[in-house]
Each structure stands twice: as structure tokens, then as C-alpha cells.
Amino acid sequence: MSWVDELRRREDLCRRAPSAHNTQPWLLRYAEDEVTVHWDPDRALPDSDPTGRDLFLSLGAFVETCLIVATDAGLAVRADVTVDEADHRAARIVAADTPYRTPFSAGAVERRRCARGRYRPGRLSRQTVAELGAGLRHLPGRELAAMLSAADRRMFGTPAVARELRQWLRLSPRHPRYEMDGLTDRALGLGRIEAAGLAAALSPTAYAIARPLGLPAMLAASSRSLLRYDGSVLVLVGRAATADRVVEQGRELLRVWLSLSERGLAVHPLSQILDCAATARTLEGRLNLKPGESALAVFRTGRPMREPTRSARIPAGRRHDHGLSTAQT
């Protein structure tokens, strides 16, 4: 059996890579001596992620996951990252003379979780942050509470962004794609009543009526407590002049998240802070970035109060479309 066949057998594990809104945009195409990583443009988020930052970070995380899974299986492969936006291709995985060097295993990929609920108080030590990598900045969570609230008001208050979010929410087990993709009530840490309330508020008719009456501020209020404790927020800083560079930064981000996971820590992405121009400027001003640098990912990290729910994944070989309809959203 060739290395391509061996990697294909492990595609389900590769799909455990993280993606914004759990859209799982990646597509693998298998050839005799290479595997190419593409993305499905129907699984991009043009309104929530207009620059494609989260898309390319997700693709980088997926590429890194593939290399870790391959190495764990004893396969010697490497990744050539060359983004072709016309062909929706991010990278090629090809045979290498030596295995990819990584401290992580397939088990680490399995163990990683995103936890969106409450965390126990406590900040990361300076030594831990230093061990995670030079591209990280560490901020007290409380300093970003106002930014998060403002970013959430923008997210819920922008009709196109709210509509895109609604398309990827799975707030009831009755949703036809509940076990496949998107953000479920359990993954979001919502109770039954909270999930029903959010679904009702974001329904097209209710949203159109309530948005001018203050609905965005009301929905954003629920996020304030997420950072009002003694906790840590990490910001991945890098140079993102090209899509290739952002994919490479996505590989780095995945390594950081796995390192935190292996320490018993979870993460919660706060991408909306960067998707909102006003809060992104405020954050980058707080970071005193050098020319050419930008904030690429923001996430809180710590020990969750409760074990987070494992998010759904589309099985390998399943037709890869999001299959959304107005009735489903």
C-alpha cells in the first residue's frame, strides 16, 4: 500500500483540524504520488471573513494536522504551501526523504478541544507563553472584555454577518446537519432554553424586527462574562503579506493549540475582534506592532469548568457540500 493510500485511510483523523464556524472548508485530492489540499469556496465565510484570514489559517491548521497524522503512521512526507486562488488550492503533500519533525501524535490531534464555556481563574505563566512560541502576545482577559462586546455587537448587528452565522448554527439535535458540521448548541455551551432563544432571535423575521430595537446589544451582553475573570488571552502576531504566509501561520497556530491541549488547557477563538475594524485597530494599537506585523488570531485559553463537547466532523468520503436551505437555517 502506498503512502497516499495510508494517508487516505486516516483522512477522518485529519479532519479533526479546526476551522471558523466549523465549516471544514478543506478538500483532499489524491494522485499517485501526491495529495493536494484544496478548499470549497461554498464553505468560506465572505461576510464574516472578508479578507480570507480565517480561511487560510484553517487550511494551514489542516495541512499541519495531515503532517502530524502521517508522521504518527510512519509516513515520510512534507508540505509545499503554494496558494492558487483560481484553483482553490492551498498546498501539496508529497513524499520526503525523512519524516516530518513534530512533537505531536495522532492522539494529540484527537485530544484537542475548543471550549466556549467558563474557565477556571488563572493566567498562563510567562515561561509557558515563552515556550509556546515567539509570535504570541499575552494579555489579561479583562483588558479585552469591552473589545469583545463591541465586536459582538458588530457581528450581530450586521445583517449579512448574522445571516452567515445563522447558516452555520446547529441549535437543535433536529437540525439535519447536527452531527456533521457547524456550531451546535452543545459545542457553544448553551442550555436548551438559551439555544432556543438564540435561534428565535436570529430567525429572519424576528431579526428584521428586533435589530433596530437593540437586539445586537442584547445578544452581545451574554459574552461580557467570558472575559471578566482573571484569565489569559493570546494573540498570534505575524506577517501576512501573502496567502501563503497566512497558511504557514495557520500551521503555527495549530501547533500552539496542540501545545496548550497537551498541558490540559483549552482554547476559545475570538475572531470577531479581528473581523471588526474598530476593535482590530484598538487591539493592534495595544500590541505595539512593528511595521508589517498584524494580529492574525485571538483566543482565550485556560482550564474549562466542564469538559467541552467534541465538535462534529463530516466523515471522509461523504459528499462535501453544506446543503443549506432557507428552511434549515
Name the pairing type of β-strands 136-140 and 26-30.
Answer: unpaired
Residue 320 is predicted with a pLDDT of 52
Contact, 268 vs 300, CB < 8 A?
yes
Average pLDDT (266-285) is 96
Name the pairing type of β-strands 183-184 and 34-39.
Answer: unpaired
Average pLDDT (270-297) is 95
Residue 325 is predicted with a pLDDT of 35
SS3 sequence, 7-67? HHHCHHHHCCCCCHHHCCCEEEEECCCEEEEEECHHHCCCCCCCCCHHHHHHHHHHHHHHH
Percent of the chain whose pLDDT exceeds 90:
90
* pTM listed for this prediction: 0.95
pLDDT for 110-148, tens place per residue? 999 999 999 999 999 999 999 998 899 999 999 999 999
Helix, strand, or coil (residue 298): strand
Judged by phi (left if over 0) then psi (alpha if -120 to 50, else beta), residue 99 lies in: beta
- Over 70: is that where the pLDDT of 319 sits? no
Please, what is the average pLDDT of the chain? 94
- Over 60: is that where the pLDDT of 151 sits? yes
Count Cβ atoms within 10 A of the Cβ of residue 78 and give its class: 0-12 exposed, 13-18 middle, 19 or more buried: middle
Residue 322 banded pLDDT, cuts 50, 70, 90: very low
Calculate the CA 1 to chain-centre distance.
Answer: 33
DSSP state of 169: E
